[in-house]
Each structure stands twice: as structure tokens, then as C-alpha cells.
């Protein structure tokens, strides 16, 4: 089949490469000139495990092509996958400008009389009712009446996007038009994944509800972690014990500094904005966002309390991406942490294994120094805060680090370090909700002679 994918981001490029790998002819439309230039060399402008080789192979074999001409690419296609961004606006609602630009371009294509129907597959996360509105928009116009609209939300996770696409728990197909559903099922059939057929609005709601539920699990475990600190329980043990209950499961029960990224915060706020439009209070979802906001700022605020004042204090940040395995810093907790620390006058040096993440952050926070590795970032620091659980942080030479820092303090925002190893090297260490290494314990020790010596 001839397929067109509009938007070569994390969703679009992965979708395009996987579908091309299934043997289809895929034309990808990308309107960002720099990204397009990279793609046209058969290279990948985003970091995603396994993606460069899949793109390269299909590009070389001529199954994957790149263009900025949506008209030409969509005209020849049997199905057009829309995967453009829908970022948050100031009021929390998604910015649909890119989506509408695509809609308007598709609308211009000539009517297909005997060449068959055209399929518009909406993969972007869009407000509930968008698919129906697109359907009516196409129906109003004689030329675009051949379009059929399917809502086909995407559930891949950055960092494991290819794995998630090949092993999707489910493929949601939202349409009431049977022939359209069958065409899309035919495209996905080789993946052999379970398909759920629903109406367009329910498909759109499934995406928002699923992301909000996962975000709620994170905020829930973080709230319990804060309570663990106060009552002397250990969040690791608690999460393990909870997760063993098959009704709960282990996923998304890792306490830390909260979620970020291009999806959870955006989708949460989009759903709240939908609630507002429907004049419905959504107290639970409001709480999920509020808990996460506080959690993002927990460590810089703790540090500020610990030291009394952060003016001129040298702080080292390890990890800037919102999670490991990606170069994405959109809405990363690191941004909130940086705003808080620099707002309090701290001098921040940051390191992330992804160079692109470093320069993205540097653009937003020019005063922040960027280091080439963990050791350089930690040099002469008065506190190290770990924000992203990149595997390399678990294999550092703590004795070497102890000689480089000015004050030996480590705050582990992802509970991914071994506190006993870090403390054995002479550091003071605390994680989130850890019984042995709680923030409360660290705070209690600051007044003591032991801590005064340790931190000097
Ligand atoms: N990133 C994820 O993990 C993820 C997961 C599930 C769903 N989603 C949803 O999928 C959508 C895309 O997300 P993403 O992370 O891939 O976004 P992205 O910003 O990485 O990619 C979007 C791409 O579309 C391009 N684009 C914008 N307007 C265009 C136009 N008119 N013509 C051609 N190209 C255009 C942009 O230049 C960009 O490269 C969003 O709605 C998002 O919420 C994302």
C-alpha cells in the first residue's frame, strides 16, 4: 500500500519506519526544514533506540521517503496518518494549529471517484470530538467527501518506542465505518496485536484516560512516599508489596521527583480543560497535577531549607531528559528544578548523556553550565541532585567523586543509587521515601556535629 505519515516526530517517524518495514511504501511529510534535511540523508533527527537502523534500511530500499509536500504525498496514499504535535497552550488546552493545517491541506485534494476512499488516521492526541469534527468538515466539502476518519491513538513510550509498537498491548481503532476499520486492520495485521474497535470519541477518551491513570499512579505513590518519610516506612518495600497484588501491578509505582515529558502533563491539562468546557469538576485529576507539581520541586526546596540559602551555592544536576532513553526535555522535571534553583541564586552545572538535551536546556537557561560528564558536573559542587535514572549514574566511582566535590551531598530524585555505596564513600545521601535514607533523616542530621563535619 501507499501510505503517507504527516509529522516525523517520535510518533510519526516510528510509525512510518515500522509500517515501511512491513513492506509498504511510506512517504513522510515533515515541515521543519532542518529535520527534513537530516531525514533526506536517511538519518534520524531524534534519539530512539533501534530507530536509526530501521529508518536507514527502509530509506535505502526506497520504502521510506521524505518530503515537505503534503499534497503530493497524500494524493497518492490510501491512508494518511496524522502525527503532528498538539502541545499545551497557556490555558492547558492543546494547540491544534498543526493539526488544522494538515486538515486544510488534505481538504484541498481532488475528489476520488473510482480510485476508492481516502483514509485519515489520527494518531496525534487530540481533544475528544476532534475525529467527529474532522469527519463533518470533510463531508461539508464536495471534494473531500471521499475521506474517512479513524481515531487511532498512540501508546508508545519514548525510549522503548519500537518495542512498544511491535508489542502493543492493544491497537485502538475508533470509527463507525467498517470498511475504513478493515483497511487499517489490514495495515496493522502483520504485527499480530489485539485490536479494539470503538467509536471515535471513545478512542480519543481512551488515550487521555490511560495517560491520566498512569500519571495518577505516579502521583499516588509519590504521595505515599512522602507519608513513608513521616511514619518511618520504606517506599521501595511498600511499592513492591502493593505491586504484587495483581489488581494493582508493579508498573508506575516508582517513587521519585514526579513525571514530566511531552505527554503526561499535556494530556492531564487537556483533560482538565475538557472538563472545564463540559462544566465538570475533575477533582482527582486536579490533584494528580498538583501533587506532581510539588513533587517536581521537592528536592530544590529541600536543599534550600537544608542550606538556608542557595545564593551562590554550586549545585550539580545529573540528567535533564524527562526519562532515560530519550533526548526529549519537553516539560522535564529538570526544567522546573532549574527554574527553582536559579531563581534562588544557585550556580548550576548540569550533565546529561544526551548532548541534544544539554543544548536544549542551555537555550532555556543560558546561565547554567553544561559539563561533558558526571565527574566534571560534580566538581566543586555543594550538592548533587540526580534527576534522570540514566544507567551510567549507577556505575560511578564514588571515591573519585568524593575528592572532587566541595560538600558531599547526594539527593537521589529517582531512588536509583545504592545509598550504602554512596555513603561508604563519605557522602550524605537521601532518596525519596526511603526508610534508611530519608530526607527527614538527612535534615535531622544537619544540626548534628556528625553532619556538620560531613558536609564541610
Ligand atoms: N511522544 C510520545 O511519546 C507520544 C506518545 C503517544 C502519543 N503522542 C502524541 O502524538 C503526537 C505527536 O507527538 P510527537 O512526540 O511525535 O511530536 P513531535 O513534536 O516530536 O513531532 C511532530 C512533528 O510534526 C511536524 N509537523 C508539525 N506540523 C506539521 C505539518 N503541518 N506538516 C508536516 N509536519 C508537521 C513537526 O515539525 C514535528 O517534527 C502528539 O499529539 C502527542 O501527544 C506522543
DSSP 378-439: HTT-SEEEE-S--GGGGG--HHHHHHH-SS-EEEETTS-S-HHHHHHTT-EEE-SS-STT-H
Buried b (16+ CB within 10 A) or exposed e, 244-265: eeeeeeeebbbbbbbbbbbbbb
Q: Do 14 and 129 share a domain, yes or no?
A: yes
Number of structural domains (the chain) is: 3
Q: Do 323 and 396 share a domain, yes or no?
A: yes
Distance 4 CA to ligand 1 centre (A): 14
Q: Is residue 98, in this structure, part of any structural domain at all?
A: yes
Residues of the chain with pLDDT under 50: 449-450, 452-453
Which atom from ligand 1 is nearest to the alpha carbon of 125? 41
Q: What is the DSSP letter of 143?
A: G
Q: Which of 292, 326, 343 is the last residue of a domain?
A: 292
Q: Do 183 and 43 share a domain, yes or no?
A: yes
| Cβ-proximal residues to 373 (8 Å cutoff; 6+ apart), any chain | 351
Q: Do 179 and 213 share a domain, yes or no?
A: no
Using DSSP, how many helices (H) and how many strands (E) does the chain show?
20, 14
Pocket test for ligand 1, best of 8, 9, 108 (most atoms within 8 A of CB): 9
CA dist., res. 134 & res. 149, Å (int)? 7
Q: Do 370 and 336 share a domain, yes or no?
A: yes
Distance 79 CA to ligand 1 centre (A): 18
**Cα dihedral value 437, 439, 440, 446, nearest 10:** 100
CATH code at position 18: 3.40.50.720
Q: Do 121 and 147 share a domain, yes or no?
A: yes
Distance 32 CA to ligand 1 centre (A): 11
Place of cell 493539526: 99
Q: Is residue 202, in this structure, part of any structural domain at all?
A: no
Minimum CA distance residue for ligand 1 atom 19: 85
Q: How many residues does the chain have?
A: 456
Minimum CA distance residue for ligand 1 atom 13: 85
CA dist., res. 312 & res. 407, Å (int)? 14
Instruction: Enter the C-alpha cell of residue 432.
Output: 525519596
Strands 347-351 and 428-430: unpaired
CA dist., res. 4 & res. 1, Å (int)? 10
C-alpha to C-alpha distances, 200 to 4, 115, 169, 173, 218, nearest whole angstrom: 21, 25, 19, 8, 28
CA dist., res. 135 & res. 149, Å (int)? 6
Pocket test for ligand 1, best of 154, 159, 204 (most atoms within 8 A of CB): 154
In the Cβ-directed half-sphere of 162, how many Cα atoms lie within 13 Å? 16
CATH code at position 222: 1.10.1040.10
Distance 352 CA to ligand 1 centre (A): 23
Distance 72 CA to ligand 1 centre (A): 20
Largest CA distance in the chain: 85
Write the DSSP string, 284-334.
HHHHHHHHHHHHHTHHHHHHHHHHS--TT-EEEEE--SSSTT----TT-HH
Q: Do 44 and 118 share a domain, yes or no?
A: yes
Q: Do 134 and 237 share a domain, yes or no?
A: no
Q: Which residues line ligand 1 (CB under 6 A)?
A: 6-12, 29-32, 35, 70, 83-86, 98, 101-102, 123-125, 154, 156, 158, 262-263
Pocket test for ligand 1, best of 12, 123, 207 (most atoms within 8 A of CB): 12
Q: Do 213 and 351 share a domain, yes or no?
A: no
Q: How far is CA 48 from the centre of its chain?
A: 12
Q: Which of 197, 223, 257 is the last residue of a domain?
A: 197
Minimum CA distance residue for ligand 1 atom 24: 7
| Cβ-proximal residues to 415 (8 Å cutoff; 6+ apart), any chain | 235, 236, 254, 255, 256, 431, 432, 433, 434
Minimum CA distance residue for ligand 1 atom 7: 154
12-48 confidence digits (pLDDT tens): 999 999 999 999 999 999 999 999 999 999 999 999 9
Q: For residue 157, what is the enclosing H or E element?
A: none
Residue 43 CB neighbours (<10 A): 12
Q: Which of 235, 264, 292 is the last residue of a domain?
A: 292
CA dist., res. 390 & res. 408, Å (int)? 21
pLDDT value at residue 447: 64
pLDDT value at residue 449: 46
pLDDT value at residue 451: 52
Which atom from ligand 1 is nearest to the alpha carbon of 266? 43
Which atom from ligand 1 is nearest to the alpha carbon of 267? 43
| Cβ-proximal residues to 11 (8 Å cutoff; 6+ apart), any chain | 83, 123, 124, 154, 156
Could you list the active site residues?
263
Which domain range does residue 154 map to?
2-197
Phi, psi for 409 (deg, rounded to 5):
-130, 130
Place of cell 533527527: 45
Place of cell 513510550: 157
Q: Do 192 and 216 share a domain, yes or no?
A: no
Instruction: Enter the C-alpha cell of residue 394.
Output: 549507577
pLDDT value at residue 453: 47
Which atom from ligand 1 is nearest to the alpha carbon of 7? 24
Q: Is residue 306, in this structure, part of any structural domain at all?
A: yes
pLDDT value at residue 254: 97
Q: Do 120 and 26 share a domain, yes or no?
A: yes
Distance 6 CA to ligand 1 centre (A): 9
Q: Do 123 and 28 share a domain, yes or no?
A: yes
C-alpha to C-alpha distances, 55 to 59, 64, 99, 193, nearest whole angstrom: 6, 7, 24, 22
Amino acid at each position: 500500500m501507499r501510505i503517507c505519515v504527516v509529522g516525523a516526530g517520535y510518533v510519526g517517524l516510528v510509525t512510518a519506519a515500522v509500517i515501511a518495514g512491513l513492506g509498504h511504501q511510506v512517504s513522510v511529510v515533515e515541515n521543519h526544514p532542518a529535520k527534513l534535511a537530516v531525514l533526506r540523508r536517511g538519518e534520524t533527527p531524534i534519539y530512539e533506540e533501534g530507530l536509526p537502523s530501521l529508518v536507514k534500511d527502509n530509506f535505502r530500499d526506497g520504502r521510506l521517503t521524505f518530503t515537505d509536500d503534503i499534497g503530493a504525498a497524500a494524493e497518492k496514499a490510501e491512508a494518511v496518518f496524522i502525527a503532528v504535535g498538539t502541545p499545551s497552550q497557556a490555558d492547558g488546552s492543546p494547540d491544534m494549529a498543526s493539526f488544522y493545517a494538515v486538515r486544510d491541506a488534505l481538504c484541498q485534494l481532488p475528489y476520488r471517484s473510482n480510485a476508492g476512499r481516502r483514509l485519515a488516521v489520527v494518531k496525534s492526541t487530540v481533544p475528544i470530538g476532534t475525529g467527529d469534527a474532522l469527519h463533518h468538515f470533510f463531508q461539508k466539502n464536495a471534494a473531500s467527501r471521499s475521506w474517512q476518519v479513524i481515531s487511532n491513538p498512540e501508546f508508545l513510550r519514548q525510549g522503548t518506542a519500537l518495542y512498544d509498537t511491535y508489542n502493543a498491548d492493544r491497537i485502538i481503532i475508533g470509527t463507525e465505518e467498517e470498511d475504513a476499520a478493515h483497511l487499517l486492520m489490514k495495515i496493522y495485521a502483520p504485527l499480530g496485536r489485539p485490536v479494539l474497535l470503538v467509536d471515535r470519541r471513545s478512542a480519543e477518551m481512551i488515550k487521555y484516560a490511560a495517560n491520566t491513570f498512569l500519571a495518577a499512579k505516579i502521583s499516588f505513590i509519590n504521595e505515599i512516599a512522602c507519608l513513608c518519610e513521616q511514619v518511618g516506612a520504606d517506599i521501595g518495600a511498600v511499592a513492591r508489596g502493593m505491586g504484587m497484588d495483581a489488581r494493582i501491578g508493579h508498573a508506575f509505582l516508582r517513587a521519585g521527583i514526579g513525571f514530566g515529558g511531552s505527554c503526561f502533563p499535556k494530556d492531564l491539562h487537556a483533560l482538565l480543560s475538557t472538563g472545564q468546557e463540559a462544566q465538570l469538576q475533575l477533582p482527582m485529576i486536579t490533584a494528580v497535577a498538583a501533587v506532581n507539581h510539588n513533587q517536581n520541586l521537592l528536592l530544590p526546596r529541600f536543599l534550600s531549607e537544608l542550606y538556608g540559602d542557595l545564593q551562590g551555592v554550586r549545585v550539580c544536576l545529573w540528567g535533564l531528559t524527562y526519562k532515560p532513553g530519550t533526548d526529549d526535555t519537553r516539560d522535564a522535571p529538570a526544567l522546573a528544578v532549574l527554574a527553582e534553583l536559579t531563581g534562588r541564586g544557585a550556580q548550576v552545572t548540569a550533565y546529561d548523556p544526551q548532548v541534544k538535551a544539554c543544548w536544549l536546556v542551555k537555550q532555556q537557561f543560558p546561565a547554567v553550565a553544561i559539563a561533558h560528564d558526571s565527574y566534571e558536573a560534580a566538581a566543586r559542587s555543594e550538592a548533587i541532585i540526580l534527576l534522570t535514572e540514566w544507567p551510567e549514574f549507577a556505575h560511578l566511582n564514588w571515591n573519585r567523586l568524593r575528592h572532587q566535590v566541595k560538600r558531599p551531598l547526594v539527593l537521589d530524585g529517582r531512588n536509583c543509587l545504592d545509598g550504602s555505596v554512596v555513603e561508604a564513600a563519605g557522602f550524605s545521601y537521601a532518596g525519596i521515601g526511603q526508610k534508611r535514607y530519608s530526607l527527614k533523616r538527612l535534615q535531622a542530621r544537619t544540626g548534628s556535629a556528625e553532619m556538620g563535619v560531613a558536609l564541610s
